[in-house]
Amino acid sequence: MSDSKFALYISIASLVTFLIVAFYGNYNQRENEIHKPVMEPTKPIAFKNAKTIPLPEKIDLAGEAVPLHIDDVKERLDKELHINSYWHNNTIFLFKRANRWFPVIEPILKKNGVPDDFKYLALIESGLENVTSYAGAVGFWQILKSTGKEYGLEINRDVDERYHPVKSTEAACKYLKRAYQKFGNWTLVAASYNRGMRGMQNALDNQKVDNYYDLMLNDETSRYVFRILAIKQIFESPEDYGLDISKEHLYEPYVYRTDTVRNSTDWVDYAKAQNTSYKTLRIYNPWIQDDDIRIGRNEYYVVSLPLRD
């Protein structure tokens, strides 16, 4: 037999073998599919309690009435109320953290003559968590490094007072009061916290209007005040928005003592000497940025510590 004929026979035999294997493989697969148990089709989840939410007849920000007779104003508030009412996991945790931190923030606002409603600004900015934005703003009040230094916060390798719940609130009050001196209107002050004082003034000048609700703004600033309003409304009447907030589930304010540190310190050793852990020290003092601190002459830091048993 010539080599060419032998090669031809081999090729034909390989092809026949392939076809037989393919046929029986497909046959077995079809048999398995025929005898596979029939699965019930997945039913869509029915949100039986989902319903539209009525708007309040009136609402204000820091005593300044919201013009709900303007259609787009009413619809923007409507949107934010629905988002935050049905975003249950997020909104519930806002209540939990607010119970811990509002008692710290509220007296500072009052002392500085800033309306109490601005505590909700901090709430929508950060959820009262020490988060960092894509732009580098940090802490409860989402303060940029340059802004923090401008308003007296210490920011360096060892310390970042933008994370200090008291000092950052004081710095935010300085900004808010300065903005009020410029605009004479708390709603514009709130919007400027998002867009900046210069940005808000440019928008007012370019569009020849004198209030927030008549401005055409980018989506973020356009929603900003309404997010504050929605959270305020939900906090004041949680049951009206489908939230059953049990007081015993809220986070309690920290109960602490203070200590003054005047010398350069290894925080790990310091915490151990105070009968606590470095982790707990950092939780109570989020402004601490490293595991040691260098303290110059005439400098000192007041540290919060859990009460001893």
How confident is the prediction along the chain (309 residues), in pLDDT tens digits per residue? 555 554 545 555 555 555 555 555 554 444 444 344 444 444 443 445 667 888 999 999 999 999 999 999 999 999 999 999 888 789 999 999 999 999 999 999 999 999 999 999 999 999 999 999 999 999 999 999 999 999 999 999 999 999 999 999 999 999 999 999 999 999 999 999 999 999 999 999 999 999 999 999 999 999 999 999 999 999 999 999 988 999 999 999 999 999 999 999 999 999 999 999 999 999 999 999 999 999 988 899 999 999 864
Which pLDDT does position 30 carry in this prediction?
A: 46
262 and 243 in a common domain: no
Please give the residue range of the domain that contains residue 137. Answer: 60-249
The answer to whether residue 79 sits within a structural domain is: yes
Considering the domain architecture, whether residues 178 and 124 belong to the same structural domain is answered as yes
- Going by DSSP bridges, is the β-strand pair 256-261/301-306 parallel, antiparallel, or unpaired? antiparallel
Q: Do residue 190 and residue 215 come from a single domain? A: yes
Same domain, 158 and 300: no
Q: Is residue 296 in a domain?
A: yes
The answer to whether residue 231 sits within a structural domain is yes
In a domain, 263, yes or no: yes
Q: What is the DSSP track for 37-52?
A: PPPPPPPPPP-TT---
Burial of 225 (0-12, 13-18, 19+ CB in 10 A): buried
Asked if residue 7 belongs to a domain, the reply is no
Query: What does the pLDDT read at residue 47?
Result: 45
Does one domain contain both 168 and 116? yes
Domain termination site, one of 233, 249, 265: 249
CATH of residue 146's domain is 1.10.530.10
261 and 245 co-located in one domain: no
Q: What is the pLDDT of residue 289?
A: 96
Domain co-membership, 181 together with 229: yes
78 occurs within a structural domain: yes
At 53 the pLDDT is 82
Can you tell me the distance from the alpha carbon of 257 to that of 305, in angstroms, rounded to the nearest whole number? 5
Total domains present in the chain:
2
pLDDT of res. 87: 80
Residues 92 and 236 in one domain: yes
Tracing tokens 């009052």 back to the chain, one arrives at: 110
Quick one: pLDDT at residue 54?
Answer: 83
Residues 167 and 292 occupy one common structural domain: no
